[in-house]
Amino acid sequence: MKTKTHLLASSLVLATTVSSFAQGVDKSAANYREGKLDDYLKLATQSIESNSEDLPENFNADTLYETLGLTSISSYSQSSTPEGTEWVNKIQLNNGGKNEGILKLLTDSKHKGLVIPEMAPAGTDLALQLTLNLSSAEDIISQLVGMGDEEDSTELKEGLSSEVPMLGVTTSELLKKLDLRLNFALDLDASEKLPTPVGEFNKPHITGRIDGISWIWDKVGAMAIGGTGLPFTKADEDGISTYSLPPEMAAQFMGYSPIIRVDSTKDQVWLSSTPDFLEKCTSDTNTLADSEAFKATMKNIPRDGVSMTYASKEFYDFLASTVGNLKKTGMLDGADEVTKSQLDTAIKE
């Protein structure tokens, strides 16, 4: 946890209905732009046609766009606004609230609202939330594979009908049951350094939480714990099972002491790098949502989304330092020119 003030961070929010993201687009920006999504689909079609010799015989671009849900998007608007040395990029995709294809997987979930701001402690440097409802994934996959040859379709059908080990359901049934929310918080602790082969960094503390899979843990959790080979001890209280390691083992893990908490009452599975950071993430006090850095970042951005990404200036400094050290040590020498260019752009001041 840091005491210094965060500089402007960046964030991305995926609204529960894509059209509601209009709240965030800056119509006063000099480079504000709006139009039909066909503007982009035409470019995509041109790219596809230029590589048509590598595509299956039954491939159809219009079928692809419809399967992905792109044809349900009638228009877009976007803006890029300079903010110091950063750019705030926002985009609205207007589909009238009708989510299809990929957008349906990412937005139509039983898990509502942005919860990571209240889960992550104030000072968190990277906070992620993603919902993923795979109940319609089989239809999407089948349509995409259907544009290939018959052998691919046959293999897919066999795979979907096969039983998933230990879960007692087929792959098809599993997909229909999976409606998840993934939450992740990372805090870079400036008070402690972590030595690595590419230099010292502020020590990261990490907590992840998956909502909607406690039923899977009930079936495979014991095997997963046993498979680690570590002496986890289990404590049960009020529907919560906590798996922890002896404190003295932290010295073997660079000061980390992994802990797992399974909350059956809330259908949550937690995994944290230390008990202390887990406690901060479950305390409901002094949260990221209360911090001035987060409030400044989220200004004029909707709060009713289902997915989001937030990163502090410290995180970007950490990323730039890591990439810079990798380049100095020659560990990126084998990367292709496109990758090198993308990394240079990502860390450019």
Tokens 């997915």 belong to: 307
268-272 and 199-211 beta bridge pairing: antiparallel
Backbone φ/ψ region at 199: left (φ over 0), alpha (ψ -120 to 50), beta: left
Share of the chain above pLDDT 70, in %: 91
Residue 52 has pLDDT above 90, yes or no: no
Which one is predicted more confidently, 49 or 126? 126
Which one is predicted more confidently, 20 or 27? 27
Number of neighbouring beta carbons within 10 Å of residue 234:
13
Residue range 162-189: mean pLDDT, rounded: 96
pLDDT tens digits, one per residue of 251-283 = 899 899 999 999 999 999 999 999 999 999 999
What is the structure's pLDDT at 249?
A: 95
Residue 22 has pLDDT above 80, yes or no: no
Residue 37 has pLDDT above 70, yes or no: yes
Residue 12 has pLDDT above 60, yes or no: no
Residue ranges of alpha helices (H) inside the chain are 38-50, 61-68, 101-107, 116-119, 137-145, 150-161, 171-177, 214-227, 275-282, 292-297, 313-328, 337-347
Which one is predicted more confidently, 279 or 198? 279
Residue 288 has pLDDT above 90, yes or no: yes
Prediction pTM value: 0.82
pLDDT tens digits, one per residue of 126-165 = 999 999 999 999 999 999 999 988 899 999 999 999 999 9
DSSP conformation letters of 121-187: BTT-SEEEEEEEEGGGHHHHHHHHHTTS-HHHHHHHHHHHHSEETTTTEEHHHHHHH-EEEEEEEEE
User: Mutual orientation of helices 137-145 and 150-161 as an angle, nearest 10°?
Assistant: 160
What is the structure's pLDDT at 1?
A: 41
pLDDT band at 284 (very low <50, low <70, confident <90, very high): very high
